[in-house]
Structure 1
Amino acid sequence: MKKVHVILSICMLILLIIFRIFIIQDYNAFDDHFYKQGDHVPLFANKIGPFHNPSESYRYYDLPFCIPDHVKLEENKEDVGEVLNGDRLMSGPYALDFLVDKDSEILCRKKLTKDEVAQFRRAVDKDYYFEMYYDELPIWGLIGRVENREVTEDTKYYNYFLYKHIHFDIHYNRDRVIEITARMDPHSVLDLTEDREVDAEFTYTAKWKGTDILFENRMDKFLQTSLPHIHWFSIINSCVTVLLLTGFLATILMRVLKNDFVKYAHDEEAVNDQEETGWKYIHGDVFRFPKHKSLFAAALGCGAQLFTLTIFIFLMALVGVFYPYNRGALFTALLVIYALTSGVGGYTSTSFYCQLEGTNWVKNLIWTGCLFFGPLALTFCFLNSVAVSYSSTAALPFNTIMLIVLMLTLVTSPLLVLGGIAGKNSRTNFQAPCRTTKYPREIPVLPWYRSTIPQMAMTGFLPFSAIYVELYYIFESVWGQKIYTIYSMLFIVFILLLIVTVFVTVASTYFQLATEDHKWWWRSFLCGGSTGLFIYTYCLYYYARSGMSGFMQTSFFFGYMACICYGFFLMFGTIGFRASLLFVRHIYRSIKCE
């Protein structure tokens, strides 16, 4: 155990150091943003893309926007998390100096060719938006609009207009920038309907206004607009309903168990040759090790690692690390913590594998390293190739990929091996309260609804019903343009999901054992993780109602959601099995088994 504590201490120390370098540094990076009148305030143009396809993003200057003479196209250096987020910041075209008003300032004049007009028209037709950052404050706006022009009853034509003028409202408090908004002038537009050369003059205005909002609170407006009041009512309603159902199920289960204990205690005092029935009848088989125990232990290891990762992410969110538009902080945290928690996966997998009397622990360790990361890496390779073919900013550059590979090689793999060695050296015998017989009993013929798939459907529905309301807002944050900030509510829902998963999996295991079906190991894991399958089914419903379209966005949505739901499957499968194992050990310790 001392070796385990040393490894965990080393992991925590490395985590704190990298966390300090990659995330805390960004969190406090804005504290020195003081300006005097006329000072240059950094403005970066980030990306453009279809409004309903968040993954399909491109560099701002991939569209033929005019570039003023004073602008030097230099790409800003981004950290790993920002690159993973698809950010590619470059010098912005507008000069918005501190406390300097602009009145119809000419940005530039440009003659658009037929190809450039067609390129802008395609972008306007797909509702392209732009994203910029001014003193690290986000700015959004649409680049144009489409108007219907009905010619006949059956035929419609469309007019395409490109916005030429943008107005900036900037709020300041003494020597700091507090807020910025961009408004497009609907009357200053460029008609792109026809394929012809067009002379364009792009202009902008800027108006500075004072405010009492402090610099430390300038992101609060994103917190205030993140959730409607009906969200709280829906969550509370779901929590109360699910807790009542869970409490009802737990009460019934405890009463049935109490009756079983009384019955078996009475049977022990009665005639010994009376035939045993129910879950006591299979006491000699219930602790028989499962098939494919190396794969089973690896799944438990991956689930334990992902659960540890989730807890760390929640702790960081609750202390305010992931404030709105802290670009890349979440992705950086996910990457770093996943790498550092690989030791947890290696230790959990190997120690349990050795308890199951496994001998080839190296093979088990390879299974642990590849079971989740393998499908994730294959999905990433495919989706990154798709993004490269689209010339999208979602495609990771070569140096970022090599950095991730180095982190996996120099951090993840050694910690996985160290965790595996610690798990092997701390080997203990599997604690089974009943002796396992030499030959397994034959499982009786059961109705179809007691088979694996129907049981997974029944046990996965109740946990899913506890979170489906929250899922919509999470999907809107990840795959839409909304912001999710109420992490305390999300943490409560996560705890509720854990409780419900434990109760329904334990109940499912009990009813399985009561029918004298002793193959509960894999069944409890599959039933606990079945919530991930329900979440992926919800993805189909969400996609059908969203405005996402195109091969790239569809591939990214279903590809990465498959990996996320697979991770949920492993994590909650591990939780379900661990709860079932404690339950089975408890009930068989409570009776006398010969």
Structure 2
Amino acid sequence: MAFLRSLAFSAVLLLLIHGAHCFYLPGVAPQDFVKGDPLQVKVNKLTSIKTQLPYSYYSLPYCAPKKIQDSAENLGEVLRGDRIENSRYVFKMREPEMCNIVCKIKLDAKTAKAFKEKINDEYRVNMILDNLPLVVPIKRNDQDSTVYQLGFHVGLKGQYSGSKEEKFFIHNHLAFTVKYHRDVQTESSRIVGFEVKPFSVKHEYEQGQWFEKKTRLTTCDPHAKHTVINSNTPQEVEENKEIIFTYDVDFQESDVKWASRWDAYLLMNDDQIHWFSIVNSLMIVLFLSGMVAMIMLRTLYRDIAKYNELETQEEAQEETGWKLVHGDVFRPPSNSDLLCVYVGTGVQFFWMVLVTMMFAILGFLSPSNRGGLMTAMLLLWVFMGIFAGYSSARLYKMFKGSDWKKISLRTATMFPATVSLIFFILNALIWGQKSSGAVPFGTMFALVFLWFGISVPLVFVGGYVGFKKPAIENPVKTNKIPRQIPEQAWYMNPVFSVLIGGILPFGAVFIELFFILTSIWLNQFYYIFGFLFLVLLILIVTCAEITIVLCYFQLCSEDYLWWWRSYLTSGSSALYLFLYATFYFFTKLEITKLVSAIFYFGYMLIASYAFFVVTGTIGFYACLWFTRLIYSSVKID
């Protein structure tokens, strides 16, 4: 009870220190508006698929309100580099406005250079209205359909008026379209769409007649019902250039209901490809299941019957095959402590992934809840530490270990320490680029507190409970002197066997992996968690089956060193994941900057490491179950 009270106090202290900034989950309840109600547009980070480094909106000299206010963000949003702030774009519900002046700025050498750099790197501006992200609708040429791109480009570059010199132009006029669904009975409205068409316009007005927002521009008509630009000259980005930012806003009634307003954002992926991925994975599973069934129902059954018959008849024939190594098969492996640590970490990740997936399927982690997925994964990983400690301690006691505190400490710190080192180096590089993706000190403190204040104690609790349990008894006794392993065939070489074992688990998920990488690195939504859950189940079955098959072949060749090999066999799929990530980098991404490349490979290394411990643990437990099953089924003196 004292521990629980201290844990609760620690959690409350963390909330007080870090505030709602990290753990506030934005509500997704519908908001009703009546005509004339103010609509505050919020601005988010600037993003680019060429650099992968986000920047805050006001890192460029855009029109800023008198007081910039940060919106409450959860932990996931902060780690993603989101910076949600208020803006000078304020609409009135169902009241269209044309050629509304936001502000006027004059570029100096520094600001002109900043705009040019962002335009050259193809940065996009992200805005939010009523929790809906701003999109640019684009008509497909080959189909009568529309696709949506998140945010609009800061500007564009190209040649103009016959000039051979490439120039930079800024999008300074925004034509917004707010779609709403109206309730006929109450006359209230709910926002169901937020679109924009950006323009680059060199605005003009009579000299000496600048009166802020009351200025009459000659380049657009504020009384028009639709966007009318009286100038074909784009706004160039150069030192000493004057830029006037303007916008139009139009309101369109829509039949789309509030509950379905995200459908247009999410229909960016082809479900047929996902079904192809599932069918492809199922074929692999069926193939492996057939091999396992053949081993379990035919070969293994025949072996067990033969061995038991020999014992009954007391024949003096020499034993061969997997029964011959029964006195060594449960001998603790070399470096068994490290294996216990890796298995415990894998269990922690497995339960985190499984519970996160269940929450996602139930709709708690939809894309409308920005950062919710990452926040949930971090918090679940912390609280699943109790399973990590329990699993590692149980296995450690099975290997005749006695110091459970040592193994619990290593389980609680080894993987997080490795990831933290990589994360700290990447964060330092991003901070050096002055990107909003750099994690603030307060968030770093919160992450460290989650690790040492909650995760580590829970690992120790799990380790204590696991070590107090009776040790797992092996079905056969272990000889005091280890048996010599005969020379193995080339195809049973550990390196070859391990590398072959990782191909099929990776093959079961690589198509879905393409969509996951696209959502992360190309700024698209990933929402088909039902497909992902099926792929996860297929991955679990594939890892278990391929490990059992190869473990059986290994034991039949009288090689009893299966502990580490069972972990590495399915865990080697992480190597193929990293190689695929490298292939994806060179074929799908257009990253040219060194820091961005290091950023990409650093995070993909962390993801591959996590994939290694999860898949390795699945294979290990499958092999442990298999060996205990077969050796408990034969009679051994």
| TM-score between the two structures when normalised by the length of structure 1 | 0.91
Give CA-to-partner distance per residue, 1:9-53, whole Å, 9 cap, x none. Answer: x99xx99xx9xx9999736x2426222322222221111132333
1-side partners of 2:295 and 2:22: how far apart?
47
**Residue 535 of structure 2 is aligned to residue 490 of structure 1:** no
2-side partners of 1:495 and 1:57: how far apart?
34
Of 162, 185, 191, the residue aligned with 2:236 is 191
1-side partners of 2:160 and 2:37: how far apart?
47
Pairing 1:105-120 to 2, within 5 Å after superposition: 105-120=100-115
Q: What residue in structure 2 maps to residue 292 of structure 1? A: 335
Q: What residue in structure 1 maps to residue 221 of structure 2? A: none
Q: 1:280 to 1:402 in 2, by over 3 A?
A: same
2-side partners of 1:249 and 1:325: how far apart?
44
**Residue 194 of structure 2 is aligned to residue 180 of structure 1:** yes
Q: 1:182 to 1:272 in 2, by over 3 A?
A: same
Of 90, 97, 122, the residue aligned with 2:85 is 90
Give CA-to-partner distance per residue, 1:523-546, whole Å, 9 cap, x none. Answer: 101112111121111111111111
Q: What residue in structure 1 maps to residue 169 of structure 2? A: 161
**Residue 349 of structure 2 is aligned to residue 306 of structure 1:** yes
Q: Report the CA distance between 1:548 and its aligned residue.
A: 2.5
Q: What residue in structure 2 maps to residue 509 of structure 1? A: 551
Of 15, 36, 59, the residue aligned with 1:62 is 59
**Residue 507 of structure 2 is aligned to residue 465 of structure 1:** yes
Q: Is the 8 A contact 1:346 1:365 kept in 2?
A: yes
Give CA-to-partner distance per residue, 1:482-526, whole Å, 9 cap, x none. Answer: 111110110001100111111100001000101100100111011
1-side partners of 2:304 and 2:72: how far apart?
67
**Residue 25 of structure 2 is aligned to residue 41 of structure 1:** no
Q: 1:512 to 1:35 in 2, by over 3 A?
A: same
Q: Is the 8 A contact 2:74 2:372 kept in 1?
A: no
1-side partners of 2:551 and 2:162: how far apart?
67
Q: What residue in structure 1 maps to residue 585 of structure 2? A: 543
Q: What residue in structure 1 maps to residue 303 of structure 2? A: 260
2-side partners of 1:391 and 1:23: how far apart?
21
Q: Report the CA distance between 1:270 and its aligned residue.
A: 5.2
Q: Report the CA distance between 1:120 and its aligned residue.
A: 1.2
One-letter amino acid of the counterpart of residue 243, structure 2: A
Q: What residue in structure 1 maps to residue 406 of structure 2? A: 363
2-side partners of 1:568 and 1:48: how far apart?
30
2-side partners of 1:342 and 1:362: how far apart?
14
Q: Report the CA distance between 1:308 and its aligned residue.
A: 0.7
Question: Cα RMSD over matched residues?
Answer: 2.5
Which is further off, 35-44 or 268-277?
A: 268-277
Q: Report the CA distance between 1:124 and its aligned residue.
A: 1.0
SS in 1 for 2:166: strand
1-side partners of 2:471 and 2:549: how far apart?
27
1-side partners of 2:325 and 2:241: how far apart?
83
SS in 2 for 1:172: strand
**Residue 386 of structure 2 is aligned to residue 343 of structure 1:** yes
Q: Is the 8 A contact 2:25 2:74 kept in 1?
A: no
Q: Report the CA distance between 1:131 and its aligned residue.
A: 0.7
The sequence identity of aligned pairs, in percent, is 30
One-letter amino acid of the counterpart of residue 377, structure 1: S
Of 538, 542, 558, the residue aligned with 2:601 is 558
2-side partners of 1:242 and 1:231: how far apart?
17
Which is further off, 249-258 or 174-183?
A: 249-258
Q: 1:30 to 1:241 in 2, by over 3 A?
A: closer
Q: Report the CA distance between 1:405 and its aligned residue.
A: 2.1
**Residue 628 of structure 2 is aligned to residue 581 of structure 1:** no
Give CA-to-partner distance per residue, 1:394-417, whole Å, 9 cap, x none. Answer: 111111112222222321122111
Pairing 1:124-523 to 2, within 5 Å after superposition: 124-139=119-134, 140-147=151-158, 157-174=165-182, 175-185=189-199, 189-192=234-237, 196-223=239-266, 225-254=267-296, 255-269=298-312, 272-426=315-469, 428-523=470-565
Which is further off, 342-351 or 244-253?
A: 244-253
Give CA-to-partner distance per residue, 1:409-428, whole Å, 9 cap, x none. Answer: 321122111111111212x2
SS in 2 for 1:77: coil
2-side partners of 1:35 and 1:445: how far apart?
78
Q: 1:336 to 1:250 in 2, by over 3 A?
A: same
Task: List runs of 5+ in structure 2 lacking aligned partners.
Answer: 135-150, 183-188, 201-231
Q: Report the CA distance between 1:370 and its aligned residue.
A: 1.8
Q: Is the 8 A contact 2:24 2:74 kept in 1?
A: no
Q: What residue in structure 2 maps to residue 78 of structure 1? A: 73
Q: Report the CA distance between 1:317 and its aligned residue.
A: 0.2
One-letter amino acid of the counterpart of residue 66, structure 1: C
2-side partners of 1:510 and 1:369: how far apart?
33
Task: List runs of 5+ in structure 1 lacking aligned partners.
Answer: none
One-letter amino acid of the counterpart of residue 185, structure 1: F
SS in 2 for 1:122: helix
Q: 1:266 to 1:127 in 2, by over 3 A?
A: same
SS in 1 for 2:152: strand
1-side partners of 2:161 and 2:385: how far apart?
61
Q: What residue in structure 1 maps to residue 614 of structure 2? A: 571
Q: Report the CA distance between 1:141 and its aligned residue.
A: 0.6
Give CA-to-partner distance per residue, 1:427-478, whole Å, 9 cap, x none. Answer: x233211111110011111133312221111111011111111000011111
One-letter amino acid of the counterpart of residue 180, structure 1: F
Q: Report the CA distance between 1:234 and its aligned residue.
A: 1.9
One-letter amino acid of the counterpart of residue 117, structure 2: R
Q: Report the CA distance between 1:79 and its aligned residue.
A: 2.5
Q: 1:361 to 1:82 in 2, by over 3 A?
A: same
One-letter amino acid of the counterpart of residue 154, structure 2: I
Q: Is the 8 A contact 2:40 2:89 kept in 1?
A: no
2-side partners of 1:113 and 1:446: how far apart?
73
How many positions carry a matched residue from both structures?
571
Q: Is the 8 A contact 2:548 2:623 kept in 1?
A: yes
2-side partners of 1:500 and 1:92: how far apart?
51
Q: 1:284 to 1:30 in 2, by over 3 A?
A: closer
Q: Report the CA distance between 1:188 and its aligned residue.
A: 6.1
2-side partners of 1:104 and 1:588: how far apart?
81
Q: Report the CA distance between 1:380 and its aligned residue.
A: 1.3
One-letter amino acid of the counterpart of residue 170, structure 1: V
Moved over 6 A (4+): 21-25, 149-152
SS in 1 for 2:511: helix
2-side partners of 1:296 and 1:253: how far apart?
27
